[in-house]
Amino acid sequence: MDFVAARENMIECQLRTNKITDRRILVAMGSIPRERFVPSGKEEFAYADVDIPCAAGRCLMAPMAVARLIQEAEIKAEDAVLCVGAGTGYAVSVLAQLADSVIALESDPACCKTAGELFSELSFDNAVLVEGELRRGWEKESPYDVIFIDGMVSDIPDELFNQLSVGGRLVGIVDSGDGIGRATLYIKLDHSVSSRGIFDITVGLLPEFDKEQEFVF
């Protein structure tokens, strides 16, 4: 399969046609070998407009979803970013080309191993992989200018908002309760947090954010 041609087709037919106008994002996603971040045997789907399961409770979100969420975060070159639920690291690799530094938080050991190997191989020197509970964020390196949640969640824990700087942005997909996700932008103000819905989309729910599982004994 010609992955270079598939990548170019993704840019032209999925991103540009879905309001992705930030040239930095187009350049980043046009240069990253997305096929390396999918499970073996799934490479032919790497550039399709679909979510690709990559581990228990993890999926590689469709290119359009990744691009639109990142664009809404308005990442600056000097920004510090936290990616929650980094998975195999594709979104982190895009973020690393836009921001000054990226903390990639993941709780699944298999994903951590894959992401760590890819970050090293592809020389993403400003992305640091850490293993920990997703809902708790990574306070050690806070505050962050941007928090990117890579997957759908049932709610946004206060711990994540507390790790944002004033003026910081959090983007993620929140389950509306009926299985339909709403991509949402949150902005931390001096004494509150504002929010704005961006678009409707359904992706895999991160297990750590599944309220139903919290009450299973």
Q: What is the pLDDT of residue 10?
A: 98
Residue 72: which region, alpha, beta or left (left: phi > 0; alpha: psi -120 to 50)?
Answer: alpha
Structure tokens at 177: 């309760």
**Residue 175: beta bridge partners?**
181
Q: For residue 206, what is the DSSP state?
A: P
Q: What is the pTM of this model?
A: 0.94
Please give the CATH topology (third level) of the domain spanning 64-214.
Rossmann fold (3.40.50)
Q: What is the pLDDT of residue 57?
A: 79
**Domain-wise residue ranges, the chain:** 64-214
Predicted confidence pLDDT, tens digits, the chain (217 residues): 899 999 999 999 999 999 999 999 999 999 999 999 999 999 999 999 999 998 777 899 999 999 999 999 999 999 999 999 999 999 999 999 999 999 999 999 999 999 999 999 998 899 999 999 999 999 999 999 999 999 999 999 999 999 999 999 999 999 987 778 999 999 999 989 999 999 999 888 898 887 654 444 4
Query: φ and ψ at 18, to 5 degrees?
Result: -120, 40
d(CA 91, CA 61): 9
Q: What is the pLDDT of residue 216?
A: 42
Q: What is the pLDDT of residue 180?
A: 85
Q: What is the pLDDT of residue 147?
A: 98
Q: Residues, the chain, total?
A: 217
Q: Reply yes or no: is the peptide bond before residue 157 cis, omega within 30 of 0.
A: no
Q: What is the pLDDT of residue 74?
A: 97
